[in-house]
Amino acid sequence: MNSKKRTIDDNTLSQLLELSRLSSDATDQKTLKSQVDQIVEYFGILSEFDDSENPYDAYPSTAVENLRNDEVVKGLDIPDVKKVTPEFMDGYFRVPKVLGEGA
């Protein structure tokens, strides 16, 4: 592990504050610098791990030949759909209200 501890300088910290639209008056600069230094240190730890492996190798690919065929099949007839629920009117199902007032 690299023993050199990385920190940010005051100029970089003030630029970060400006980019994030934070006011240096709104927070303790010393505390904020400490927190940003911890984040930078964490990325230093992460950079020590080998990431040369292709991340997409974790997801197996499927050959086109192994996919199912697209076949049109007959759907349900309206009389059969009406049997599913009594809440069927004008070609639509009535469903419970999900969102409340003001949502």
- Residues near 10 by Cβ (< 8 Å), separated by ≥ 6? 33
Structural domain contains residue 15: yes
As a whole-number percent, the residues of the chain with pLDDT over 90 amount to 0
Provide the number of structural domains found in the chain.
Answer: 1
- Residue 16 near residue 37, CB atoms below 8 Å: no
Enumerate long-range contacts of 70-74, CB under 8 Å, 24 or more apart. none
pLDDT at 100: 65
pLDDT tens column, 13-48? 888 888 887 766 766 778 888 888 888 888 888 878
Question: Looking at the domain assignment, is residue 35 inside a domain?
Answer: yes
In the chain, what percentage of residues exceed pLDDT 70? 84
Question: Residue 23 falls within a domain, yes or no?
Answer: yes
| pLDDT of 80 above 50 | yes
Cα 93 to Cα 98: distance, rounded to the nearest angstrom: 14
* 100 vs 86, residue with greater confidence: 86
Residue 91 included in any domain: no
What is the domain range of residue 14? Answer: 10-47
C-alpha span between 6 and 44 (Å, rounded): 8
Domain for residue 21, yes or no? yes
Residue 24 inside a domain? The answer is yes
